Amino acid sequence: MKTISVVSGKGGVGKTTISLAIAKTLSTKYKVGFIDADITGANAHLAMKLEKDIEVVGSKDNITVYPAVMSLDGRSIQFFSVSVFGDTYVKWNESKISDFCDVAFDKVKWNCDYLVVDTPPGLHAENLKVIERSDCVVLVTIPAKFAESDYIKTLGYLKEISAKVAGVYVNFSYIKCECGRILRPFRYTFNYGVPVIEELPFTENVTLDCDKLINAINNPVTLKRDTTMHKVKEAFISKMIEVIGRA
């Protein structure tokens, strides 16, 4: 089983939509599982229909979890999320979030070829835990100036852990007019630092090129650690600790 984390530094760039599109695309050829790791904002289930509920077997110290089975546009996807226990707000500390991730990876009995993990935006506890246990990362961003800073920070972290990155989906890249013209509303681009898998248009139903996706996943780029940025980060942390200590 190969685990793919879908990551974005910025919220609102369409990461969940693309995570679902990745799962649907892979399911045309493989058995697929899906983890919605956005603890406080789990909503991927809203795009699916429940086929089979989650099953929990055993005691607290020896628990086995069988994932729910959801239908995504007629295709069966194995599924695990806090939402399977009820659609309500969840407020957990870092320890509880870590426990959820451990259960998702170690206790759930996945029977799939690919496991797609939709992570929350930014670099939170659940993101870091999931990313470090993934075989590769797929990045999602948009070609806008306000997304660039968060993207670069995320890329910096991925370099620090020498993560394997399949590439980036650049969402909301263009609008295809009925007349055939291609319009680019943001009129902005930046150095993504990894291969671009696809530029995607403004559309309600995202369709991914299956061959491009599978090729990217099977041939990820291993990022090299940026020692200069690491020194800058360490200096920044030291300064922050000093300021906090004075408060």
In the chain, what is the straight-line distance between the N-terminal and C-terminal CA atoms, in Å?
Answer: 48
What integer pLDDT is reported at residue 38 of this predicted model?
Answer: 85
| Close Cβ partners of 68 (under 8 Å, ≥ 6 residues apart) | 50, 51, 52, 53, 54, 78, 79, 80, 84
pLDDT band (50, 70, 90) for residue 42: confident
Number of C-alpha atoms within 13 angstroms, CB side, residue 95?
A: 0
Bigger pLDDT: 232 or 200? 200
- By residue count, the chain amounts to 247
Q: Are 165 and 221 in contact (CB under 8 A)?
A: yes
Residue-wise pLDDT for 172-197, tens only, equals 999 988 888 888 888 788 889 999 99
Q: What integer best gives the mean pLDDT of the chain?
A: 88
Residue listed under structure tokens 């408060």? 247
What integer pLDDT is reported at residue 228 of this predicted model?
Answer: 63
The pLDDT of residue 102 is above 90: no
Burial 219-241 (b: 16+ CB within 10 A, else e): ebbebeeeeeeeeeeeeeeeeee
State percent of the chain over pLDDT 70. Answer: 90
The pLDDT of residue 236 is above 90: no
Fold of 2-246: Rossmann fold (3.40.50)
